[in-house]
């Protein structure tokens, strides 16, 4: 349920309304827009039956949220959410690019990639310390050692960093060494993990599951928001279909659909979507054209010898050329990079 407050609602009136709602056993989330302040009431709405909230001082209107996802819906917040990470804004007019190797292999390779992607115009650095792999025999990442390299690269370059969290037991160390916590596609419906990151004051990059519908994707985001963390970045990274020409099918229609359904920023990962470096550039441009707020692109100095996903990684010179082309696409649709 949404409660729209009057523009002249006082702090005392708002506090009284919050107290009334909490006394009923429900939780309250407040969204302050440019024109109105809105309260989202979360919980069993049958508890509100008979509660005359509409007549309380400071209330302009009371209406139900029809979507199963509440806090992440456009009904709850009309304005786009912009998430700021160390001065980098995700979700505004400026399109942001997160770039770096799929996994952190050595300190030298990470630092080389960080230096080159920053020079090309990327504002955030990615690198996996803990890697979910289909085979138990494949490279699983450097773990805590990789996180130390990532934190060192952040300090050296000034770039905010993104890395994946797979296990709630690693939350503390990842929280200390990263700026954005990534929840990968395989964990999109790991509800225990979503609940735990929802308790943190740290942006979360949530990737769409391998076969997840948009509704399921947004319900996973709702798990995070329901715990109080509204700093959520949605990432379309391709879904499984019957097609075998590429690794996954990149659902670019998801971008405008998500922009209609939610106020959260939406980015696209073309690297994981297709698994082929030669298709990353055209899909990255297409993602910007359909309204994505950013991109996540894998870059590796020596992809032929990469320990993880080398086939989909761009070499630094290819990435630099792509960044120049992306700026033209952004300008064409009235955005910047």
Strands, sheet with 59-63, edge to edge from the N-terminal-most edge strand: 27-32, 37-42, 2-5, 59-63
Instruction: For residue 190, name the pLDDT band (cuts at 50, 70, 90).
Output: very high
What pLDDT does residue 50 have?
Answer: 67
DSSP 326: H
What gap in Å lies between CA 236 and CA 151, rounded to an integer?
Answer: 26
Instruction: For residue 81, name the pLDDT band (cuts at 50, 70, 90).
Output: very high
Q: Residue 245 pLDDT more than 90? A: yes
Query: For 48-57, 168-177, 229-238, 289-298, which range has the lowest pLDDT when averaged over its residues?
Result: 48-57
Contact partners, residue 42, CB within 8 Å, separation at least 6:
26, 27, 28, 29, 70, 71, 226
Q: Using DSSP bridges, classify how beta strands 266-268 and 232-236 pair: parallel, antiparallel or unpaired.
A: parallel
What pLDDT does residue 64 have?
Answer: 79
Using only C-alpha atoms, the chain has a radius of gyration, in whole angstroms, of 21
Model confidence pLDDT, tens digit, residues 137-149 = 677 778 889 999 9
Give all domains of the chain, ordered by start, each with its CATH number. Answer: 2-63 (3.30.70.1140), 83-332 (3.20.20.70)
Instruction: For residue 31, name the pLDDT band (cuts at 50, 70, 90).
Output: confident
78, two tokens:
């009309």
Q: pLDDT over 90 for what percent of the chain?
A: 70
293, two tokens:
């707020």
The residues pairing with 262 across neighbouring beta strands, listed in sequence order, are 73
Q: Residue 205 pLDDT more than 80? A: yes
What pLDDT does residue 142 have?
Answer: 83
172 against 43, higher pLDDT:
172
Q: Mean pLDDT, to the nearest integer, of 170-195?
A: 96
Q: pLDDT over 70 for what percent of the chain?
A: 99
Number of residues that this document lists for the chain:
337
308 against 315, higher pLDDT:
315
Nearest-5° Cα angle at 182, 99 to 173: 105
Whether 79 contacts 34, CB under 8 Å: yes
The mean pLDDT value of the chain amounts to: 92
């Amino acid at each position: 349920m949404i409660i729209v407050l009057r523009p002249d609602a006082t702090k005392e009136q708002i506090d009284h309304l919050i107290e009334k709602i909490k006394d009923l056993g429900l939780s309250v989330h407040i969204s302050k827009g440019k024109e109105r302040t809105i309260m989202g009431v979360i919980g069993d709405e049958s508890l509100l039956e008979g509660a005359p909230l509409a007549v309380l001082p400071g209330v302009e209107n009371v209406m139900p949220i029809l979507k199963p996802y509440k806090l992440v819906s456009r009904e709850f917040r009309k304005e786009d959410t912009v998430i700021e990470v160390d001065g980098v804004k995700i979700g505004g007019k400026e399109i942001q690019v997160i770039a770096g190797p799929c996994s952190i292999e050595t300190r030298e390779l990470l630092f080389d990639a960080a230096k080159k992607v920053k020079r090309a115009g990327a504002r955030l650095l990615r690198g996996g310390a803990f890697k979910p792999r289909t085979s138990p025999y494949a490279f699983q990442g450097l773990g805590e050692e990789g996180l130390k390299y990532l934190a060192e690269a952040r300090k050296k370059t000034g770039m905010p960093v993104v890395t994946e969290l797979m296990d709630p037991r690693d939350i503390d160390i990842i929280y200390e060494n990263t700026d954005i916590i990534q929840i990968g596609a395989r964990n999109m419906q790991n509800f225990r993990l979503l609940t735990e990151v929802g308790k943190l004051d740290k942006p979360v990059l949530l990737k769409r599951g391998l076969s997840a519908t948009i509704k399921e994707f947004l319900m996973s985001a709702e798990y995070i928001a329901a715990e109080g963390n509204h700093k959520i970045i949605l990432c379309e990274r391709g879904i499984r279909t019957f097609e075998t020409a590429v690794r996954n099918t990149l659902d670019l229609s998801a971008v405008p659909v998500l922009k209609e359904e939610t106020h959260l920023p939406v980015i696209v990962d073309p690297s994981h979507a297709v698994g082929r470096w030669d298709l990353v550039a055209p899909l990255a441009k297409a993602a910007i054209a359909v309204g994505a707020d950013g991109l996540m692109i894998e870059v590796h100095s020596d992809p032929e010898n990469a320990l993880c996903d080398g086939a989909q990684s761009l070499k630094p010179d290819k990435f630099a050329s792509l960044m120049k082309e992306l700026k033209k696409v952004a300008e064409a649709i009235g955005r910047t990079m």
